[in-house]
Amino acid sequence: MKDESRGGGRLPVMPEDDRRQLILRAAEKVFTASGFGAATMEEIAKRCGMSKKTLYKLFPDKMSVFAALIDSHDNPRLVWEAQASEDQDGTAQLRRLLTALATFILSPRQIALTRLVISEAHNTPELARRFYEDCIVRTRAFAADQLAGNPIVPKTAGIDILAVVDTFVGSVLGILQLKALMLDMEPDAIQRELEERVDATVAVLTKALL
């Protein structure tokens, strides 16, 4: 039997959405291994075992593949809504929110994508802009919405809720995000340090707020 993952056979007929997901999984591996600039549509097509003609029917160029890849990444809102409980007090809600956001930002896929965007930002500023708008802006807006409804977060006139988001989330991430980006930390080590930083952040911030 031919190995279709190496482009040696024809893919079975499948729904378009499934075909798109197959392409995106292959593209993520190619972009991670080669970098965005060096990756080619031919290489992506070969990786997912389909012709370039089929690939171009779904994605007109490499940038559109990467844009779709960004859109396909986990949504912190969905993770939060699946875990949140209405009977939690404000402190528990804050702890859960900070943990969910930091876990999303420090996930292996998100770290790999962040590295890729940073490495190519100078050569492809539109790539960095797309990542910033689709990942960072949306995540900040989601966090602002959650913090605005948290009973322990004071509603202080003149203070932008996004500034509060940056303060809270920044306290949790801190040097940990740089370590995850630069040092190839094991996921378990990241999670342990993340939990410690959430505990410290919640303890300090709630004491200051109450």
**Among 169, 139, 137, 138, residue whose Cα is nearest residue 153:** 169
At 40 the pLDDT is: 93
Q: What is the rounded CA–CA span in Å between residue 39 and residue 50?
A: 16
Residues 121-153 pLDDT 10s: 888 788 788 888 878 888 888 888 888 877 777
Contacts of 167-171 spanning 24+ positions with Cβ under 8 A = 168/94, 168/98, 168/143, 168/201, 168/205, 169/98, 169/101, 169/102, 169/105, 169/143, 171/197, 171/200, 171/201, 171/204, 171/205
At 45 the pLDDT is: 94
Other residues' Cβ atoms within 10 Å of the Cβ of residue 76 = 23
* Local confidence band at 87 (pLDDT 50, 70, 90 cut-offs): low
At 3 the pLDDT is: 46
At 160 the pLDDT is: 82
